[in-house]
Copies of this chain bind each other. A is one copy, B any other.
Amino acid sequence: MNRLAAACLAVLIAGPASAADLRAQVNDYRAAHEAAIIGQLDELVRLKSIAADSQGLAATGAYLESQLKTRGFDTASWSVGGSPPIVYGLLKSPGAKRTAIFYAHYDGQPITRAQWSSDPFVPVMRDGLAGKDLGWKAAKPPFNPEWRLFGRGAADDKSAIISFLAAFDALKALHRKPSVNIKVVWEGEEEASSAHLDGILKTHAAELQSDVWLIGDGPVHQSRTPTIYFGARGSLGLDATIYGPLRALHDGHYGNWVPNPAAMAAELITQMRDGEGRIIIPDFADDVRPLTDAERSAIARLPPVEGGLKKEFGIARTEGGESLTASTMRPSINIRGIRSGQVGAEANNAIPVDAVLSVDFRLVPGQTTPGLQDKVEAFLKAKGWTVVRETPDTVTRLAHPRIIKLNWGGGYPALRSDMTSPAAKGVIAAAQSAAGGPIAILPMMGGSVPINTFDELFHVPIIGLPIGNHDNNQHAANENMRLRNLWDGIALYAAMMAQLDW
């Protein structure tokens, strides 16, 4: 007796399918449709939805709207002044008392073609991260779940959209009625800072009432265990320039006397973070909201990944003495880059004219971007720096011994939703049911997703349902989607549509 027959028998014997039955049924459906599902992802990746291609973005939006319409959704397409459309869908489920909004983005990061092994918009299947090309269309399913489909957006986030559509199709084939009213918000501008999202959501606030937002973005836990997350750190970029002499000076004749801006930048870095990555800017952590017992205990239950990751990354030590996830619960200062003078064959014996630093702050709940800016600037002033916004003229240089030009980038605060709310409990239960065992429950992702927007506008729980493997090369060349994670995603989304209730 195969698993589908067993599942049907279970329905006949026990009435409506249990959670275990649904998992088996969805998995069987998926096993029977692997080639078709990969074909859908392949088709979606071929649609060139990157910021540099506004026509591609519009075409992708139209394609996705038609996909929803075909499946019986009421749909709309929202745009402002030619912005990439937000695809909206609504499918009411008679008798459902809760409404869930499924969010994902269909745009991908820009590409640098030369860094890719193949065309980012012509998907290729390979038998591993550095594997060989496979003619998957001629292969006989079920496919090896370690195979990966390579293409821009294959993981981030088109895998979430395909998981949603395939899960919906599975439930329809299995005659399973959704347990919630389903709304869809698929945006096309996330990788370009979602410039129009907030305005459009406000305009359509009435249509967007719900009981929970489910966010199909971000990577799955490094243990490859199906994952849900309850928040994400915020982010704030900073570019800083530190000034040395007006022209590069002979470091033999003037070294030890003319201040060296590279050394000044080094000193500043070590005044902001210690050798273990801990932030030592005074009062920096004052506003940080501590972890709850539930959050701490969720972190303690995560499968250990540290040993494997150290091997993968080729590092013999880590910073801060905590587990990876515990480390990313704290705010952080990352040096994205530094440039001063010249190195290697181009090095001159000169004191450089400046040092340019690029810093990426990660915020945790309780911290605001203006608050963080204030703390950093107060710290700089206390250390004797004069903060400027424009390149200083000679008069300014002569008046101030330490000048730093700051250019704050865009940013947004962190979010950590309550893991113990009824909605949270419902999502956890559905996800565990889909996984048929323990899942990775992250109080907050280390990386940032601007989900605070949804929280600020709608004040309902925001919970993440990531699909992509952690090693999907997100934002980089050779982005890829591991099949096992796609299959897990379909099971996860099916459970959210068919079993979510509280």
A317, B385: Cα distance in complex, Å: 12
- In the complex, A252→B334 CA distance in Å? 9
A397 at the interface (CB under 8 A from B): yes
The quantity of this chain's copies bound in the complex is: 2
Cβ < 8 Å to B, chain A residues 228-252: 232-233, 235, 237, 239, 243-252
Residues from chain B with Cβ under 8 Å of A259 in the complex = 277, 315, 317-319
Check if A184 is an interface residue, CB within 8 A of chain B. Answer: no
Give A409's nearest chain B residue, CB to CB.
Answer: B347
Write out the residue numbers on chain B whose beta carbons fall within 8 Å of the beta carbon of A445.
252-253
Q: Given the interface contacts A246-B314, A252-B445, does A258 sit within 8 Å of B336 by beta carbon? A: no
Q: Is A398 an interface residue (CB 8 A)?
A: yes
A247 partner residues in chain B, CB cutoff 8 A: 313
Specify which of B251, B317, B398 is in contact with A360 (CB 8 Å cutoff).
Answer: B251
Residue contact B336 to A338, C-beta cutoff 8 Å: no
User: Which residues of A (337-357) have their CB < 8 Å from a CB of B?
Assistant: 337-344, 346-352, 355-357
- A344's partner among B269, B350, B356, B474 (CB-CB below 8 A) is B356
| Contact residues in B for A317 (Cβ distance below 8 Å) | 259, 401-402
Interface membership of A128, Cβ < 8 A: no
Bound Cα distance A259, B446 (Å): 15
Cα–Cα, bound, A253→B309 (Å): 12
Q: Assess the B252–A330 pair: CB atoms within 8 A.
A: no
- Report Cα–Cα, A341/B394, bound state, in Å: 30
Q: Which residues of B contact A399 (CB under 8 A)?
A: 316
Query: Are B341 and A340 closer than 8 Å at their CB atoms?
Result: no
B328 engages A336 (CB within 8 Å): no
Among the stretches A53-61, A260-268, A284-292, the one at the interface with B is A260-268
Residues of chain B within 8 A (CB-CB) of A357 are: 343
Contact present for A265 and B263 (CB under 8 Å): no
Query: Is the contact region of chain A dominated by helix, strand, or loop, or is it mixed?
Result: mixed
Is the beta-carbon distance between B260 and A335 smaller than 8 angstroms? yes
A277 to B267 Cα, complex, angstroms: 11
- Interface: A324 (CB within 8 A): yes
- Is the pair A337, B343 in contact by a Cβ cutoff of 8 Å? yes
Residues of chain B within 8 A of A235, CB atoms compared: 252, 349
Q: Could you tell me the distance between the alpha carbons of A398 and B317 in the complex, rounded to whole angstroms?
A: 8
The answer for the CA separation of A259 and B310 in the assembled complex, in Å, is 11
| Bound-complex Cα distance A269 to B352 (A) | 15
> CB within 8 A of A255: which of B322, B360, B401?
B360
Between A and B, 28 residue pairs with Cβ closer than 8 Å are A243-B314, A251-B360, A252-B362, A252-B448, A253-B447, A255-B328, A255-B334, A256-B332, A256-B446, A257-B318, A257-B328, A259-B315, A259-B317, A263-B269, A263-B273, A267-B269, A270-B270, A315-B398, A315-B401, A316-B399, A316-B400, A317-B402, A335-B352, A336-B343, A337-B343, A341-B358, A343-B357, A344-B356
Residues of A within 8 A of B (CB): 219, 232-233, 235, 237, 239, 243-260, 262-267, 269-270, 273, 275, 277, 310-320, 322, 324, 327-328, 330, 332, 334-344, 346-352, 355-358, 360, 362, 394, 397-402, 445-448, 470, 474-476
Additional pairs, 9, CB under 8 Å, beyond known A219-B253, A253-B328, A258-B319? A245-B315, A246-B312, A252-B446, A257-B318, A257-B322, A262-B269, A263-B270, A266-B266, A336-B347
